[in-house]
């Protein structure tokens, strides 16, 4: 008998995350390991009077085609695939890899070619032209990465996704209101002092939409505004199954002018050289999910850790005013919970991962600012 939480999860994705309507064509991407959730998704779509378009693969990143196809073929989606991406009404992607490092065996030129081929759907999703969501399903590979048993990981997922999202939305909207009114944001922490501008940009609240788990407020920073340095010393930056440890980025007028890492520095440099837009910021995200407190090496969860921020290098969200274009969008998480601060227009709004002032408790008398 199926765990009733599977049906609750599927209903959340179909009704809240993408809001399926009668007659829609809904693409579902996933693999065989997520069969319980995928079947529940199909049932929910059917009950809405809509059409599920199931696209299953064994490897969710890479695979035999990516390894064997000529590069010129790999750069272009199949005409039928392009048509699906251009006409589909909603997209649900279920992440459940057999190998948490899928894609890391591909040469960098093949990774870049696959990213280029996905441009038709990326343009639509980054503009929020269609509703879409990426959902996590518990599998052994991800549990191993997180240092959990599969059962522990399953319980962790349900605790992070089956929340009262209306209440979470109300809390996050209060946070967004502060940043919406801001011109300058300053991030301070270990090895970090970075300023950027949100002037004229509006934020988005992920309250159970787009990513599941939700739990972030995110922006597209002004493209030429980032100045200073940020060091991601707490967690590795994971992209295409490759872990870059100790990444350090130096910005001048919005562009990364220096980049280093303690491990896999060559991969960092190669990714930042993908195209011109890869060296600029596409996103500033603020983690707000109270059910996520530990790093998982899984960005779908890690970027939502309450008390963290994440920066994405590369493509920005055009629906939040972003103008940066790139084939990549790499979210990298910075932990502010031990020694970190967020300042908005010179005012301290978060100290060591805790909101202050009207967003939370005020800092204790004598609190020393990290200036």
Over residues 5-10, mean pLDDT: 97
Task: Give the closest residue to 134 by CA, choosing from 231, 17, 305, 292.
Answer: 17
Express as a percent the part of the chain with pLDDT over 90.
78
Say whether both 118 and 70 belong to one domain: yes
The pLDDT of residue 371 is above 90: no
pLDDT band at residue 146 using 50, 70 and 90 as cut-offs: confident
The pLDDT of residue 368 is above 90: no
Say whether both 17 and 122 belong to one domain: yes
The pLDDT of residue 13 is above 50: yes
Residue 368 domain-assigned (yes or no): no
Which of 59-63, 124-128, 149-153, 219-223 comes out lowest in average pLDDT? 59-63
**Please, which residues have CB within 8 angstroms of residue 92's CB and are 6 or more apart in sequence?**
13, 14, 17, 18, 26, 27, 28, 29, 41, 132, 133, 135
DSSP letter for each residue of 242-283: EEEBSEEEEEETTEEEEEE-SB-HHHHHHHHTSSGGGGBEEE
What mean pLDDT is reported for the chain? 92
Say whether both 194 and 126 belong to one domain: no
Which CATH number covers residue 123?
Answer: 3.40.1830.10
Give the residue numbers spanning the domain of 221: 165-359
Say whether both 246 and 328 belong to one domain: yes
**DSSP β-ladder status, 132-136 and 90-95:** parallel
Say whether both 108 and 253 belong to one domain: no
Over residues 337-348, mean pLDDT: 95
Residue 249 domain-assigned (yes or no): yes
Say whether both 259 and 206 belong to one domain: yes
Residue 294 domain-assigned (yes or no): yes
pLDDT band at residue 355 using 50, 70 and 90 as cut-offs: very high
Domain boundary among 161, 185, 203: 161
Residue 364 domain-assigned (yes or no): no
Over residues 191-203, mean pLDDT: 95
The pLDDT of residue 369 is above 60: no
Express as a percent the part of the chain with pLDDT over 70.
97
Residue 366 domain-assigned (yes or no): no
The pLDDT of residue 335 is above 80: yes
Say whether both 223 and 349 belong to one domain: yes
Residue 96 domain-assigned (yes or no): yes
* Number of domains the chain contains: 2
What does pTM read for this prediction?
0.76
Tokens of 57: 């693969």
The pLDDT of residue 243 is above 80: yes
Domain boundary among 161, 181, 211: 161
The pLDDT of residue 363 is above 50: no
Residue 123 domain-assigned (yes or no): yes
pLDDT band at residue 291 using 50, 70 and 90 as cut-offs: confident
Say whether both 304 and 353 belong to one domain: yes
- Rounded Cα–Cα distance for residues 113 and 173 (Å): 38
Say whether both 215 and 172 belong to one domain: yes
Backbone angles phi, psi at 33, to 5 degrees: -70, -25
Would you say 330 and 249 are in contact if contact means Cβ atoms under 8 Å apart?
Answer: no
Residue 126 domain-assigned (yes or no): yes
190 burial via Cβ count (<10 Å: 0-12, 13-18, 19+) = middle
Say whether both 145 and 171 belong to one domain: no
215-224 confidence digits (pLDDT tens)? 999 999 999 9
Over residues 316-342, mean pLDDT: 94
Say whether both 311 and 345 belong to one domain: yes
Say whether both 232 and 337 belong to one domain: yes
Domain boundary among 111, 139, 161: 161
Higher pLDDT residue, 159 or 361? 159
């Amino acid at each position: 008998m199926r765990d009733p939480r599977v049906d609750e999860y599927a209903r959340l994705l179909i009704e809240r995350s993408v809001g399926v309507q009668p007659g829609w064509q809904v693409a579902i991407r996933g693999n065989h390991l997520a069969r319980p959730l995928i079947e529940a998704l199909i049932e929910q779509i059917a009950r809405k009077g809509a059409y599920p378009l199931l696209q299953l693969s064994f490897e969710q990143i890479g695979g035999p085609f990516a390894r064997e196809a000529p590069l010129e073929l790999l750069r272009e989606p199949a005409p039928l695939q392009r048509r699906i991406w251009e006409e589909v009404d909603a997209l649900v992607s279920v992440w459940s890899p057999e190998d948490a490092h899928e894609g890391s065996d591909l040469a960098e030129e093949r990774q870049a070619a696959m990213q280029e081929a996905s441009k038709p759907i990326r343009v639509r999703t980054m503009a929020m032209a269609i509703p879409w969501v990426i959902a996590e399903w518990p599998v052994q590979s991800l549990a191993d990465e997180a240092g959990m048993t599969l059962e522990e990981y399953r319980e962790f997922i349900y605790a992070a996704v089956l929340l009262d999202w209306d209440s979470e939305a109300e809390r996050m909207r209060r946070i967004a209101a502060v940043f919406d009114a801001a011109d300058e944001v300053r991030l301070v922490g270990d090895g970090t002092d970075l300023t950027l501008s949100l002037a004229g940009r509006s934020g988005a609240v992920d309250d159970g939409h787009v990513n599941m788990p939700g739990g972030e407020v995110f922006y597209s920073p002004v493209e030429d505004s980032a100045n200073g340095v940020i060091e991601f010393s707490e967690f590795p930056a994971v992209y295409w199954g490759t872990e870059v440890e100790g990444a350090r980025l130096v910005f001048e007028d919005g562009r990364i002018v220096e980049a280093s890492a303690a491990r896999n520095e060559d991969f960092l440099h190669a990714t930042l050289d993908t195209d011109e837009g890869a060296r600029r910021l596409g996103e500033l995200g603020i983690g707000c999910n109270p059910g996520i407190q530990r790093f998982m090496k899984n960005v779908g969860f890690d970027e939502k850790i309450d008390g963290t921020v994440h920066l994405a290098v590369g493509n920005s969200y055009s629906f939040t005013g972003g103008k940066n274009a790139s084939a990549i969008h790499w979210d990298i998480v910075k932990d502010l919970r031990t020694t970190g601060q967020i300042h908005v227009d010179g005012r301290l709004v978060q100290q060591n991962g805790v909101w202050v002032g009207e967003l939370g408790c005020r800092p204790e008398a004598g609190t020393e600012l990290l200036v």
